Each structure stands twice: as structure tokens, then as C-alpha cells.
Amino acid sequence: MLSQHPSRLDRKISGLNDRWRFPRESYLGDLLGLSQYSRATGVDISDELKIIDRLHIPQLQKILTGSIKRKPSQDTLADVTLDCLGFKWELHQPQLFHSGTLTKLYISALSQKHTDPLKELEKLLIADLPKEQPKKSPVKKILISLKINDPLVTKNAFATALKSLYSNETILHIEDVLGVLASAHILQFTSLFKRCVSLMKDGISPCTIQPYYTAACKYNEELLVTACEKWLEMNLVPLIGKQIHLRTIPQELLQKVLKSQRLFTFNEFELLKTTLYWVYLQLNLKLQAIPIYETVLAFFGSFPKKCSFLERELGQKFLPVFQCLRLHGITNSKDLENIKHINFFPETWIVRILANHYHALESGGDMFQVRDLSTQGIRFGLLINQRIKYSEMNLPAAVYERSPVSLRPERLMKYEIRAQSLVDGNWEEFSTNMLTQKFGLIKSNNKSHSLKIETVGNPIFVTFVFIFPIS
């Protein structure tokens, strides 16, 4: 019988220094070996160079920058000129390799200027060996051009991005961070891009939420998109809903936040008021300050009564926003009367809300039209800015004011208690999860479960969500 032998690992020798590789391995990442091999065998290296340019730029960057100091000495002359934004930027070869885009442009310029571009790259590697550095650059000055059409990129922002090629500690100013982010994206400068994202996550506010979210979507930065969404979930009603910056929130983002189970609101009517303000500001772009609520009601009530606002051509585009609300959670008679008076919602919506309330009262409070706690539960929120004890009575009146009560000796309820707070740029979330419990007048079942949390975050956004199922 013939014996089985493992396949042999042949090798090929490249150049006089006995550099070798396995036959099926590419020379990618071994520029010195590739250059020597091409001269020894006469093989055209242009195809290999194209592969490097197309698929292995990150590897090439790592090789060319791995043992090179970030900052050149003061007497080192610039050997690359970048023509961009109408200016000539003087750069040094080792530093530009931290940018994927500039690396590609440089290799492309070498291939056009030299018959053996890898020989020029080989000079860079040889010049970087631990020995006395020559004062003169080993490669002649190269001109590269970059055309930028992104309106976010300014001269100052682009200059900051190029400066960051030389130092990891370049100061980023919040007023330039959008432009630097855009510049880092165009330059394929990953570390700088991440620094910008981190700074923007910590700087989300009513005046920055819109440009940050738009940029995050534009550059497919999911971490920043999520951070913007989470910030708005907590601050839509208590903060930005009372400022003129509410106008800047894109409708797509608003709808997504309104559907979120984590959305904080004091009650369902406060959320409705915020959305009415948002529509009002979309239609009155010249306003520089947010008006009182009565002004908003008067505006929508001024339209002819032949049809509701949402049924008009002007209002139909806003219909998906209000379909995200839980209008069945608005029970105050005065609030319902105002909603009906301004003729904002279709009549069928008003009839359905009132009919559901009537049937609930008739059946002792059972909410027969509500099934899902997570998407239909009525929300009641409390914003805690200081530590309080469970026995503390110095709470807002809305927390403990009396409301109509059920005459039943027992009441079945599904509910959940949630708390959220921001700590070191990350949101902490606590929850009891959904609980089903019978409440009554006797001591054994007249208290709900409690949610105990430990956090240093301030404020704490507390939400109580409930429904009365059929019982």
C-alpha cells in the first residue's frame, strides 16, 4: 500500500535577503518583499498594488505607521502637499498614513509618478529602521488632491482633523465637532471619528439634538443615533417640549420616540400638549419663542369647522404622529372638552375616546379596549431631583391629589414601575417588569410592590404604567 504523506509546505525566495513566503500567500503587508520579488522575477506588480489599494488599506496603514512616531521633528520638511478646500496643506508621509483616504491618494499618486511605486514605499520602510535619520526625505514631494462636497466640512474643522494626524491629544471644540466628525469620515480617520462621537454623546442638548441626530444618520453611526433617541425619550416632555428647539425635531425621530416603551411623560395629556406644540411650531416658522398653550388652542380652533385639522390637506402629514399617542389615557373632562373644541381630531376619534370612557365607568372601571400594558398602558411620571423617603409628603400636588375611586371592594390591576437615570454618559434602567395584582381595602392587599434602586444619577425619571383589565 502507498503511504499517505502530508502535503509539503514549499516556499519561494524573494530577493537577496532570503525573504520567503508560502506560494499561495499574497505579498500584502510585505512591501519590501514584494518589491524585491518583482525585480528578481520580472513580474508586473501593478496588479498586486491595486489589490492593496482596494482591499488592504487598513493593513497597509498599520505597517507604515506601526513604528513611526506620530509627530515629526521640527527640522523635518513636509514631503506631501494636499490640495483641498482651496488650500494647500503641507503634510508628512508617515502621518498621512493614519488616514485611509490619504493613504489611497498617496499610493495612487506614486503609481502615476513612478514606474515602481512599491520601491518608493520600500524607501519609507528602510528609512524608518533604527539608525541615524537622514535630514532629507527619502521620497520626492508628492502632490495629492481631495475634493469635498460635504457642507459640514469647514476650513477650521478640516485643519483640526489634519492636526490630529500628528497628535492624539488635539483639542476638539464643541462648536467645531460636527465639521471634525465629517472630516474624519471623509478622511477615514477612525480614531478621530470615535473621539467626535464620544464628545457628541456627552453634549446632547435641546440645541444640538437635531444636528447630532442628522449627522449620526448621515454617517451611519448607530451609537450616536441611539444616544440621541434615548436622550429625547427622557427629555421630550419635561425639557425640550417647553423650548423653541422643539421645532427642530424631525418627524421621523419624533414618531420613533413616541412609540418607545421607555418614553417619559408626566401623563398622557402632557404628551399630547407637546405634540400639539410641535405641529404649531412646524406651521409658524417665524416664531422665536414658544407661546402659551391657549395660543396654540386658538390657532387650531380658528380653522373652518367643516372638517378636523388632521383631515385637512395641511394636517394629513401629521396624522402618523398622533396615531402614536395613547389618547384613551386622557380622562380629565376639561382636557377632553378642549380637545373637542379645537376640532383637531377626526370626529370618529373623539367618539371612540368618549365611548370607551363611558363603557369603562359603566363596567366599574374595566378597560375592555386595552389589552397590552407595554403599548396601551396609561403612564404617570414623576421627576425626582432630590432624595426622598417613602414617607415624605412634600411632593407635587399631582402626586397625591384625589381622583374618582372605584366602589368595588377589590380591583385587578396590571402595572409596571420603571426608573431611569443618567450616570457617566450611560442610562441606568430599573423595572419591576409587569405585575398583576388585586388591590382592596384590607391591609393585606392595599399596597403595590416597590421598586428599590441604587444610583447616583440625578434626576431620576420614574414612570408608573397601568391598565385595569376585565375582571
Same domain, 320 and 373: no
- Residue 89 belongs to a domain: no
Sign of CA dihedral 379, 383, 387, 389: negative
Residue 299 grid cell: 390657532
Residue 25, amino acid = E
380-414 residue pLDDT tens? 999 888 755 555 555 555 544 545 555 667 888 89
In a domain, 284, yes or no: yes
Give per-residue pLDDT as tens, 447-468.
Answer: 888 898 888 888 999 999 988 8
Specify whether 279 is located in the same domain as 351: yes
Non-local (6+) Cβ contacts of 112 within 8 A are none
In a domain, 229, yes or no: no
93 CB-side CA count, 13 A: 23
Q: What span, in angstroms and rounded, lies between the C-alpha atoms of 40 and 106? A: 25
Q: Pick the more confident residue, 332 or 71.
A: 332
Together in a domain, 380 and 317: no
Q: Is residue 415 part of a domain?
A: yes
- Output the pLDDT for position 394: 57
Tell me, yes or no, whether 370 and 333 share the same domain.
no
- In the predicted model, is pLDDT for residue 137 greater than 70? no
Task: Let me know if residue 457 belongs to a domain.
Answer: yes
Q: Tell me if 122 is assigned to some domain.
A: no
- Is residue 339 domain-shared with residue 372, that is, in the same domain? no
Give the model confidence (pLDDT) of 230-262 as tens digits.
999 999 999 999 999 999 999 999 999 999 999
Residue 50 belongs to a domain: no
Kindly state whether residues 274 and 339 are assigned to the same domain.
Answer: yes
Q: Is the pLDDT of residue 7 over 60?
A: no
372/358 same-domain check: no
For residue 336, what are the domain limits? Answer: 268-362
Per-residue confidence (pLDDT) for residue 84, from 0 to 100: 95
Q: Residue 77 is placed in which grid cell? A: 520638511
- 420 lies in the same domain as 436: yes
Mean of pLDDT values over 297-305: 92
419 or 124, higher pLDDT: 419
Same domain, 287 and 337: yes
- What's the structural domain count of the chain? 2
Whether residue 443 sits in one domain with residue 456: yes
Q: Are both 313 and 327 inside the same structural domain?
A: yes
Residues 286 and 337 reside in one and the same domain: yes
pTM of the prediction?
A: 0.79
Nearest to 450 by CA among 437, 467, 468: 437
Specify if 401 maps to a domain.
Answer: no
